[in-house]
Amino acid sequence: MSSLAIKVDQLGKRYQLGGDVGMFKYRALRDAVTEGASNLARRMRGDLSGLWSAPETFWALRDVSFEIGRGEVVGIIGRNGAGKSTLLKILSRITRPTTGGADLRGRIGTLLEVGTGFHAELSGRENIYLNGAILGMRRAEVQRNFDAIVAFSGVERFLDTPVKRYSSGMYVRLAFAVAAHLETEILLVDEVLAVGDAEFQRKCLDKMQSVVRDGRTIMFVSHNMAAIKALCQRALLIDGGRLVQDGSVDTVVDAYLAAGRVSPDEGVLPDNVPRTGTGEVRLRTVTLRDADHEPVSQLYLGDRFSIEMTFEALSAVEDASVVVGISSLDGVRAATTYSTAEGQAPWSLAPGRHRIVLDLDLVLLPRRYTLDIAIVRGSGHEIDYVQQVLDFSAIGVARTGGDSYPWATVHGYVRPATQWHQPVRQTP
């Protein structure tokens, strides 16, 4: 494999969910598993006795094979929870695969998070050395690059100040600067460019481009399609733990964006879908549509969207109203709306099919969501209630690319509509 840098062969990773029942229940799950955990939560919600059943398993990655040549820059794209980060964690030796294997030629530098191992009490200078060592840099390597790191970060004046006194921007700049000077043959980078202000992001992108020109092998995970297109020639699309597409960056990115759209005949509820209620009216179809009224399973940040439902009334109902809940996959209700909100009158439904469309102006923060839909009579008497009827994901970038969710961790569920006023200088 002289010209190969990375050879991945049928890689698989299985996680155990909430397993290890017994005396010790301290095993905690990590972010990488939350996606799968939500599947478990979903199953358990209906069946609490599942707590004592055999440990659930979940394949975060399955049968993934590919080869990357030396000097190639490859983007990895896919929805949240698709398995991208698991792949990087295995290749960077943080966790072991369950099946398959990988051979990597060269020292591996990993950048899964900005500022890994930074200590708040230590000064900027001290953290450069500490963080460098944690990332696998030799002392000599850090020393050789010290001035460049400091210059890149722009925190010269605060080098001897504890980083706990840094602004978050300074902190991130310093942390990225250290990592950017890793001199390994292979660099594995997770969504870290989405930090700092626009100017710094551009600087990071420039830096990455110079790293690319150095002929190093890079795997780069991002939700930022513009950055992926700017940096990579090739992209891998991962979905549900499997490698779905491997090809030129333009082809794969376009396919990924197109995959966010679903065919219009989807959205029909299966006959055996679990539902509760008295049953005079039945929910038959649910479709999520984007601002262009296209059916989608993925929403860009800030896009308006609508939920289109078809109900079949078996007998007439005089005072019906519909309740729609948006929950995260792990079961937290992010928002609830109902058709009698703001004093609207209940509907009277004649027997037959009725189409009901709900337009939402709601900015959902990036994660996977699901819809719970109910039709109720009067003050809440349940006619039909279907939980988790449709899954979709909200992604961290806007359709135009001008807006994005800037952090790696998602705080909260929705971004409220706000009006930020320009700073007004106070004259003394």
* Residues that bind other proteins in the complex, under the rule CB under 8 A: 1, 15, 24, 26-30, 89-108, 110, 112-113, 116-117, 119, 121-122, 126, 129-130, 133-136, 138-139, 144-145, 148, 162, 180-181, 183, 185, 210-211, 214-216
CA distance 386 to 399: 31
Of 60 and 394, nearer to other proteins (C-beta) is 60
Give the number of other CB atoms < 10 A from CB of residue 156.
10
C-alpha–C-alpha distance, residues 145 and 162, integer Å: 21
Helix (H, G, I), strand (E, B) or coil at 352: strand
DSSP letter for 56, please: E
DSSP string for 250-278: HHHHHHHHHHTB--TT--BPPTT---BS-
Based on CB atoms, which residue is closest to other proteins, 213 or 355?
A: 213
As measured in angstroms, the least distance from the Cβ of 199 to other proteins is 20
Q: How far is the CB of 182 from other proteins (least distance, A)?
A: 9
**Considering beta carbons, is residue 205 or 291 the nearer one to other proteins?**
205
The least CB distance from residue 206 to other proteins, in Å, is 12
177 touches 146 (CB < 8 A): no
What Cα–Cα distance (Å) separates residue 173 from each residue in 68, 114, 162? 30, 9, 15
Least separation in angstroms between residue 56's CB and other proteins is: 14
Work out how close the CB of 410 gets to other proteins at its nearest, in angstroms, rounded to a whole number: 17
Residue with Cβ nearer other proteins (67 or 319): 67
Q: How far is the CB of 81 from other proteins (least distance, A)?
A: 16
Q: What is the nearest approach in angstroms of other proteins to the Cβ of residue 126?
A: 7
120 vs 268, beta carbon nearer other proteins: 120
Q: Looking at beta carbons only, is 177 or 252 nearer to other proteins?
A: 177
Supply the minimum distance, in Å, between the C-beta of residue 101 and other proteins. Answer: 5
Helix (H) or strand (E) holding 139: helix 139-153
Contact residues for 258 (Cβ-Cβ < 8 A; gap 6+): none
- Smaller CB distance to other proteins: residue 3 or 248? 3
With respect to other proteins, which residue has the nearer C-beta, 60 or 253?
60
CB 274 within 8 A of CB 372: no
Spatial neighbors of 140 by CB under 8 A, at least 6 apart, are none
What is the smallest separation between the CB atom of 94 and other proteins, expressed in angstroms? Answer: 5
Q: How far apart are CA 398 and CA 415, in angstroms?
A: 13
CB 165 within 8 A of CB 195: no
Q: Which of 65, 116, 41 is nearest to 332 (CA)?
A: 41
Considering the complex, state which of residue 214 and residue 254 has its C-beta at the smaller distance from other proteins: 214
Of 371, 363, 409, 372, nearest in space to 392 by CA: 371
